């Protein structure tokens, strides 16, 4: 069984007001809402770190990668009347 610990942090008034409003709407305390937000943030950060590690391993292994030109062309087409299909990896570095 884990024990709760007290954590003190400084946040600006605007963020505090947003937290207070959200806590009232959820019928929870500001502390509870802050703890949930921190937990979600840490989950997202852990996923991003894992994705970065996988990408670095893929890079060290030589790919495959999507060329910058293909990616730029695809991104530029998004939101237009004729978006291009998602590009495929076509470059190996080794």
pLDDT tier, 91 (very low <50, low <70, confident <90, very high otherwise): confident
Strand, helix or coil for residue 79: coil
The pTM is what? Answer: 0.68
Beta strands in the chain (DSSP E): none
Q: For residue 27, what is the enclosing H or E element?
A: none
CA-wise closest residue to 82 among 90, 91, 73:
73
Task: State the Cα–Cα distance between residues 36 and 22, nearest whole angstrom.
Answer: 12
Lowest mean pLDDT: which of 36-40, 55-59, 90-94?
90-94
| Contact predicate 26/36, CB 8 Å | no
- Model confidence over 53-64: pLDDT tens digits? 999 998 899 889
CA distance 17 to 33: 13
Structure tokens belonging to residue 32: 């509870």
């Amino acid at each position: 069984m884990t024990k709760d610990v007290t954590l003190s942090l400084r946040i600006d008034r605007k963020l505090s007001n947003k937290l207070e409003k959200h806590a009232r709407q959820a019928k929870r305390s500001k502390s509870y809402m802050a703890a949930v937000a921190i937990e979600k943030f840490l989950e997202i950060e852990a996923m991003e770190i894992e994705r970065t590690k996988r990408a670095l391993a893929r890079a060290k292994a030589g790919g495959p990668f999507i060329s910058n030109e293909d990616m730029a062309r695809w991104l530029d087409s998004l939101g237009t009347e004729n978006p291009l299909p998602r590009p495929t990896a076509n470059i190996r570095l080794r």
